[in-house]
């Protein structure tokens, strides 16, 4: 079965972007004693803006109404299964995971983490469009998804479109249908943000819509989960030139050690809950808890009669190998999650200055970005986003416009 063309990497919990590099990272984070810092802390977010009053549409293989975005989904449309209605979002399917993670990274209020893993835009409202399945997101279905957003943009007041998936093949933006719809969305006043994918081992491998000139294409960096380590490096994200000779991405941001929700009812969810419970249990209770949950994590079944220190070794290994933070969140990677971070920043900018055009937003992100000294320019474009500086410049534009 082919992997879906999502832009996330090898350590997330569902298949990665087609042709993604299979490398496994050995970073400095151990979930036992070092959680990743919240996104706002890592990108220097301005907490006075929350995306209030802004609506973003997301195209993905599926979605789930996670508690962190509860009450803020304005609409849901399934282009593949032709199922409508928000009630469909309460059914946890395998294809739901990716879109659930990308929306929560962009707009989650951290309700299941006591606010710790809040997004930059925790009041951002959402319109969700299913354009694929667990096994595949087709090129033409992404185009149809953008078309649906164009048709319904006024109904929902959609200002941003996040696309954390890519087309099936490289194509010139001059004659590719998907690319033309993406450009039409920008002309209609929608800021389009797209993940470039994770094929950094293949330079020049940029699929639509990330290859479209008008789109804000987002690559990734790895800060080890904590910017204070001052060890930010490049992520294995794709980069240009495109088939049309255009350099991509324009900007980069976090693509590794991202706290994202675990889909309820899945084996991963059951395992994370058990490991977290055991991690906080007294030694005397370990065996009984395992006996009550036989089959959930087989490695524990085999050591339940062993001394507590050996059981805790298995627990620690499970938390580390599964990148489990707690029963609700785990760490994931990929440009699928870098793009939503930029989308949430764009929401803050629009809240600060609702009159910004997509072109102005892109220019502000470029002007305020900061290049990383140890990463090739081709891989980072204008550099890493600077959240506070971008919002401040958006406010300056508003003041300048008011003074005229």
Q: What is the CATH number of the domain that holds 147?
A: 3.40.50.200
pLDDT value, residue 17: 37
Asked whether residue 245 falls in the same domain as residue 312, the answer is no
Q: Are residues 299 and 359 in the same domain?
A: no
The pLDDT assigned to 13 comes to: 37
Three-state SS at 161: strand
Residues 234 and 120 in one domain: yes
Q: Single out the residue of 256, 192, 190 nearest to residue 222, CA to CA.
A: 256
Is residue 284 assigned to a domain?
yes
In this structure, what token pair is assigned to residue 160? 């941003």
Q: How many CA atoms lie within 13 A of 180 on its CB side?
A: 5
Same domain, 82 and 125: yes
**Cα atoms found within 13 Å of the Cα of residue 183, Cβ hemisphere only:** 14
Inside any domain, residue 326: no
Q: How many domains does the chain have?
A: 2
pLDDT at 1: 30
What is the arithmetic mean of pLDDT over 1-5? 43
371 in the same domain as 348: yes
Over residues 287-312, the mean pLDDT reads 97
Residue 119: which pLDDT band, with cuts at 50, 70 and 90? very high
Q: Which of 297, 321, 345 is the last residue of a domain?
A: 321
pLDDT of amino acid 7: 60
The pTM for the full model equals: 0.91
- According to DSSP, residue 327 is labeled S
* Cβ-based neighbours of 216, under 8 Å, separated by 6 or more: 191, 192, 193, 194, 250, 251, 342, 346, 361, 362, 365
**Do 253 and 197 reside in the same domain of the chain?**
yes
Same domain? 277 vs 389: no
Same domain (yes/no): 161, 197: yes
Residue 158 lies in a domain: yes
Q: Share the mean pLDDT of the chain.
A: 90
DSSP state of 401: H
Residue 22 lies in a domain: no
CB neighbour class for 56 (10 Å; exposed up to 12, middle 13-18, buried from 19): buried
Count H helices and E strands in the chain, helices first: 12, 10
pLDDT band of 15, cuts 50, 70, 90: very low
Domain, as residue range, for 246? 39-262+331-403
Q: 3-state class of 87 per DSSP?
A: helix
Burial class of 398 by CB neighbour count within 10 A (0 to 12, 13 to 18, 19+): middle
Going from the C-alpha of 132 to that of each of 54, 87, 129, 354, the distances in angstroms are: 25, 18, 9, 32
Is the same domain home to 291 and 380?
Answer: no
Whether 24 maps to a domain, the answer reads no
- SS3 assignment, position 204: coil
CA geometry: angle 141, 150, 7, nearest 5 deg: 45
**Residue scoring higher pLDDT (374 or 378):** 378
Whether residue 271 sits in one domain with residue 257: no
In a domain, 311, yes or no: yes
Position 33 in a domain: no
Q: Is residue 5's pLDDT more than 80?
A: no
- For the segment 111-136, the average pLDDT, to the nearest whole number, is 94
Query: Would you call 158 helix, strand, or coil by DSSP?
Result: strand
Asked if residue 185 is part of any domain, the answer here is yes
Angle between helix 139-156 and 177-187 (nearest 10): 20
* 33-87 residue pLDDT tens: 457 889 999 999 999 999 999 999 999 999 999 999 999 999 999 998 877 789 8
Q: Are residues 179 and 289 in the same domain?
A: no
Find, among 330, 346, 190, the residue nearest to 273 by Cα.
Answer: 330
Specify whether 154 is located in the same domain as 288: no
Handedness of CA 212, 214, 216, 219 (dihedral sign): positive
């Amino acid at each position: 079965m082919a992997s879906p063309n999502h832009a996330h990497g090898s350590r997330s919990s569902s298949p990665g972007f087609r042709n993604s590099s299979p490398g496994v990272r050995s970073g400095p984070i151990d979930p036992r004693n070092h959680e990743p810092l919240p996104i706002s802390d890592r990108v220097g977010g301005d907490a006075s803006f929350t995306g209030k009053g802004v609506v973003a549409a997301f195209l993905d293989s599926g979605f789930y109404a996670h508690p962190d975005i509860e009450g803020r989904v304005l609409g849901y449309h399934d282009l593949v299964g032709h199922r409508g209605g928000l009630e469909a979002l309460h059914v946890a399917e395998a294809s739901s995971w990716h879109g659930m993670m990308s929306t929560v990274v962009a707009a989650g209020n951290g309700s299941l983490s006591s606010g710790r893993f809040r997004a930059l835009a925790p009041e951002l409202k959402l319109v969700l469009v299913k354009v694929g399945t667990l096994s595949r997101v087709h090129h033409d279905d992404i185009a149809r998804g953008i078309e649906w957003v164009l048709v319904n943009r006024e109904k929902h007041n959609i200002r941003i479109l996040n696309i954390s998936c890519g087309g099936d093949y490289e194509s010139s933006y001059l004659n590719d249908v998907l690319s033309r719809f993406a450009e039409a969305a920008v002309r209609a006043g929608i800021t389009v943000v797209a993940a470039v994918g994770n094929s950094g081992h293949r330079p020049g491998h940029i699929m639509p819509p990330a290859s479209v000139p008008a789109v804000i294409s987002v690559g990734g960096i790895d800060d080890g989960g904590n910017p204070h380590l001052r060890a930010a490096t490049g992520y294995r994200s794709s980069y240009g030139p495109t088939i049309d000779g255009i350099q991509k991405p324009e900007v980069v941001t976090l693509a590794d050690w991202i706290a994202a929700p675990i889909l309820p009812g899945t084996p991963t969810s059951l395992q994370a809950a058990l490991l977290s419970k055991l991690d906080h249990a007294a030694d005397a209770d370990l065996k009984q808890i395992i006996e009550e949950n036989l089959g959930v994590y087989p490695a524990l079944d085999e050591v339940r009669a062993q001394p507590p220190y050996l059981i805790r070794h298995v627990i620690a290994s499970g938390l580390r190998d599964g990148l489990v933070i707690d029963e609700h969140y785990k760490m994931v990677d990929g440009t699928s999650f870098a793009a939503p971070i930029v989308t949430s920043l764009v929401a803050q900018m629009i809240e600060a200055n609702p009159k910004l055009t997509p072109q102005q937003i892109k220019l502000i992100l470029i002007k305020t970005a900061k290049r990383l000294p140890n990463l090739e320019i081709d891989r980072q474009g204008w550099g890493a986003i600077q959240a506070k500086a971008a919002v401040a410049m958006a406010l300056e534009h508003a003041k300048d416009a008011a003074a005229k």
